[in-house]
Structures are given as C-alpha cells and as structure tokens.
C-alpha cells in the first residue's frame, strides 16, 4: 500500500525493505520496472504537471528522498516509516548487484563523470559488472536506448535530474532491455567523487538540504519549494 502525499503515492518501506523489493523486481519477467525517489520539489512539480505525476506514480517503487516528505506525511496523519535517500539506496543496490553478478549501466552526468563513477564503483564493490556508460549530454534517445540494449545491462542508473529522468524511464524503460532502472539525480556525481555528500551529522538529522544550500547558495530558488510544499500540506490537512 502507498501513502499519498499531495497526489504522489510513496511506498512505506524501510531502506532494507526497499532494497529487497528492488532486487525482487529482477525475478519478474513481465517487462521493465523503474524506481523513483521524489523530494518535496518533485512532489510540487507533480501537483502541476500531470505527465510528471503519471511518470512518478507509474514507478514500481516510489521512495521518499527528502526529510520534507517524511514531515509532510506525518502532518497528514499518514506517517512514512523511514526516509530512503536515493544515493544511499543506490549504494546498497549496487552492493547487491555485485553480490548477485548482475550488470549495471550508468547514464548521466557531465562527460567523463559516469566513467569515473564506474571505475570507483568497481573498486568499491568487487565483482560488479559495468555494462556501459553514457553522459547526460545526448540529443536523441534512440542511440542511447540502443547502446543500453546492446550492452545487455540488467540495471540502469538514470541520473539525468528530475523530471527528465522520470519521464525518460517511463518512456524508454521497456525498450532498453534492462530489467530495473533507477532515477537517481546527482548520485553519479557522488559516486565519481565530484560532489561530496554532507557529513553524517547533517544527514542523520535531516539537514542535508541545508548543508547543500550553504555550499551552493544558487540552490536557494529550488529550496524555496520546501516551504511551499509544507504550505500545501497544511492546506491538504485542513481539507481532510
């Protein structure tokens, strides 16, 4: 069952359960599946864009990335059990892919970033098979889809930023030949080491967003979606 937060249905899972559900998708031979990890900014976009909302809700797994989503669900009286940050889910998922001998394709980032991420992931997770890489600066989907299909990848990390990655997976997932695709935003930059996550204290206390804002003040415009999201949660609460 999913928990509705302003029209987006989140799977109410712990991180361990999310990883297990993700891996279980490989056992289902009926098409391709994709995973999304919306934060309040994406929920706000889903409120106004039906195509994005359909793409997000059409995912096999919808995991709450931001602390704001957790707070919002609690305010609505339908609490989610745990925040599941996309980059942490990705790391756990890669570990399982390596253990089970499955291959991964990395899509996204600036030229060279996915290659660096692939090398670092192979060092960190012995046995991981990298099927291929592709930066996010492509003009047409067709050649990328064909490259993924030709690679025989079991899984694809689609790191194109939201909502491009969600729309891309909904449209192209079934024709890539991959079984599971995960929309993971800037995770490829973290894996490549070009972007550093916040220290553990900030992450553990749900303040990673504030740490990133301090490091990148240009994100202020995007961060303003958080109070707007909370305002809409309060309005929704008043209607219930």
> What's the rounded Cα separation, in Å, for the pair 169 and 158?
8
The mean pLDDT of the chain is 92
Please name the residue ranges forming H helices in 27-112: 40-48, 50-57, 67-75, 86-99
Instruction: State residue 216's pLDDT score.
Output: 63
Task: Judge contact between 104 and 131, C-beta under 8 A.
Answer: yes
For tokens 């509705």, name the residue.
4
Provide the token pair at 183: 């929309």
> What's the rounded Cα separation, in Å, for the pair 6 and 25?
27
pLDDT band at 146 (very low <50, low <70, confident <90, very high): very high
Burial (Cβ within 10 Å: 0-12, 13-18, ≥19) of residue 174? middle
> What's the rounded Cα separation, in Å, for the pair 163 and 168?
8
Provide the token pair at 103: 């291959």
pTM score of the predicted model: 0.91
pLDDT band at 30 (very low <50, low <70, confident <90, very high): confident
Provide the token pair at 197: 């996550």
Task: Judge contact between 157 and 184, C-beta under 8 A.
Answer: yes
Closest CA to 43 of 68, 6, 78, 80: 6
Q: Percent of the chain having pLDDT more than 90?
A: 81
Q: What is the pLDDT of residues 149-190, one digit of tens each?
A: 999 999 999 999 999 999 999 999 999 999 999 999 999 999
Task: Judge contact between 208 and 185, C-beta under 8 A.
Answer: no
Q: Which CATH class is domain 2-239?
A: alpha beta
Instruction: State residue 213's pLDDT score.
Output: 56
**Residue 227, phi then psi, degrees to nearest 5:** -60, -35
Instruction: State residue 1's pLDDT score.
Output: 81
Instruction: State residue 193's pLDDT score.
Output: 95
Instruction: State residue 29's pLDDT score.
Output: 73
Q: What is the pLDDT of residues 182-211, one digit of tens each?
A: 999 999 999 999 976 666 666 666 666 555
Contacts of 60 (CB under 8 A, 6+ apart): 21, 25, 33, 34, 35, 180
Q: What is the pLDDT of residues 50-95, one digit of tens each?
A: 999 999 999 999 999 988 999 999 999 999 999 999 999 999 999 9
């Amino acid at each position: 069952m999913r928990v509705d937060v302003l029209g987006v249905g989140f799977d109410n899972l712990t991180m361990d359960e999310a990883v297990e559900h993700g891996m279980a998708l490989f056992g289902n031979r009926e098409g391709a599946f994709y995973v999304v990890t919306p934060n309040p900014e994406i929920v706000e976009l889903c409120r106004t864009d039906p195509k994005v909302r359909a793409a997000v809700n059409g995912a096999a797994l919808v995991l709450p990335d931001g602390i704001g989503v957790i707070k919002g669900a609690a305010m609505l009286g339908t609490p989610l059990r745990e925040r599941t940050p996309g980059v942490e889910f990705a790391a756990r998922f890669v570990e399982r892919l390596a253990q089970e001998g499955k291959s991964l394709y990395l899509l996204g980032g600036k030229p060279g970033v996915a290659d660096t991420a692939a090398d670092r992931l192979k060092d960190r997770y012995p046995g991981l098979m990298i099927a291929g890489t592709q930066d996010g600066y492509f003009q047409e989907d067709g050649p990328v889809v064909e490259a993924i299909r030709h690679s025989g990848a079991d899984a694809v990390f689609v790191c194109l930023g939201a909502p491009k990655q969600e729309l891309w997976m909904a449209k192209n997932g079934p024709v890539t030949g991959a079984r599971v695709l995960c929309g993971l935003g800037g995770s490829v930059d973290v894996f490549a080491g070009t972007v550093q996550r916040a220290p553990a204290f900030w992450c553990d206390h749900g303040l990673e967003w504030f740490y990133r804002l301090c490091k990148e003040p240009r994100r202020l415009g995007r961060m303003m979606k958080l109070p707007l999201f909370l305002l809409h949660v309060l309005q929704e609460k008043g209607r219930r």
